[in-house]
């Protein structure tokens, strides 16, 4: 029986190169459900431990990456304040791959085409591990938020509504 080859994305390679301990979690996407809550269910993980990656744009073309719990909504005013800009909007989905190198459902803050400022919701900071995209739809990784933040050069801030 052939051994299944481990999936290697840019994000996985970068974490390995940095000596970060993490676990890759694969899940079935044949139903087309890519939203974070569905991903949490498919991977058997608690939704409050699974985080989604969102890309925003400030005028004229400054991009910022935010990582928040899948069941939460990004507060654009809090996010703008944390990023040090006046106003943010969500990056149009049609521009995601061109700007990041990743596709919807597989976007992660590590290994993008060019390094972007990354802010993780403060709810992740005290967690021993959280789950984020590993850079490809159907692939997640469980990693310590502090390690992820170090590799992504990220900071933590209160950026969700509520």
H helix count then E strand count, the chain: 5, 8
- For the stretch 38-69, pLDDT in tens is 888 888 888 899 999 999 999 888 999 999 99
Cα 122–chain centre separation: 14
pTM comes to 0.93
Range in 29-33, 86-90, 105-109 the model is least confident about: 29-33
Q: Is the pLDDT of residue 5 over 90?
A: no
Whole-angstrom distance, CA of residue 52 vs CA of residue 50: 7
Residue 154 is predicted with a pLDDT of 98
Q: Does the residue 1 lie in any domain? A: no
Whole-angstrom distance, CA of residue 55 vs CA of residue 109: 9
Residue 108 is predicted with a pLDDT of 96
Domain tally, the chain: 1
Whole-angstrom distance, CA of residue 119 vs CA of residue 66: 5
Cα 51–chain centre separation: 6
121 is written with which tokens? 């919701």
Q: Does the residue 17 lie in any domain? A: no
Whole-angstrom distance, CA of residue 125 vs CA of residue 114: 24
Query: Where are the extended beta strands (E) located within 12-69?
Result: 22-26, 51-58, 62-69
Q: Does the residue 71 lie in any domain? A: yes
Contact 161, 72 (CB under 8 A): yes
Q: Does the residue 105 lie in any domain? A: yes
Residue 57 is predicted with a pLDDT of 97
Residue 45 is predicted with a pLDDT of 87
- When pLDDT is cut at 50, 70 and 90, the band that residue 1 belongs to is very low
CATH code at position 93: 3.90.960.10
Query: Cβ-count burial of 28 within 10 angstroms (0-12 exposed, 13-18 middle, 19+ buried)?
Result: exposed
Give the chain's mean pLDDT: 92
Query: What percent of the chain clears pLDDT 70, i.e. is strictly above it?
Result: 96
Helices 145-152, 10-17: axis angle to 10 degrees equals: 100
- For the stretch 6-32, pLDDT in tens is 678 999 999 999 999 999 999 887 777
Domain enclosing residue 139, as ranges: 26-157
Q: Does the residue 5 lie in any domain? A: no
Q: Does the residue 15 lie in any domain? A: no
Q: Does the residue 66 lie in any domain? A: yes
């Amino acid at each position: 029986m052939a051994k299944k080859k481990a999936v290697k994305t840019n994000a996985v390679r970068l974490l390995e190169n940095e000596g970060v301990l993490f676990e890759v979690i694969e899940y079935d996407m044949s139903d087309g459900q890519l939203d974070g809550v569905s991903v949490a269910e498919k991977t058997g993980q608690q939704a409050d431990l699974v985080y989604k990656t969102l890309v925003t744009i400030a005028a004229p073309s400054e991009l910022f990456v935010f990582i928040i719990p899948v069941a939460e909504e990004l507060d654009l005013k809090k996010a703008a304040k944390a990023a040090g800009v006046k106003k943010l909007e969500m990056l149009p989905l049609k521009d995601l791959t061109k700007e990041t190198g990743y596709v919807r459902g597989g976007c992660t803050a590590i290994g993008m085409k060019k390094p972007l400022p990354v802010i993780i919701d403060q709810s992740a900071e005290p967690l021993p591990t959280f789950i984020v995209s590993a850079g490809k739809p159907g692939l997640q990784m469980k990693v310590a938020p502090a390690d992820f933040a170090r590799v992504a050069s990220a900071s933590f801030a209160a950026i969700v509504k509520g």
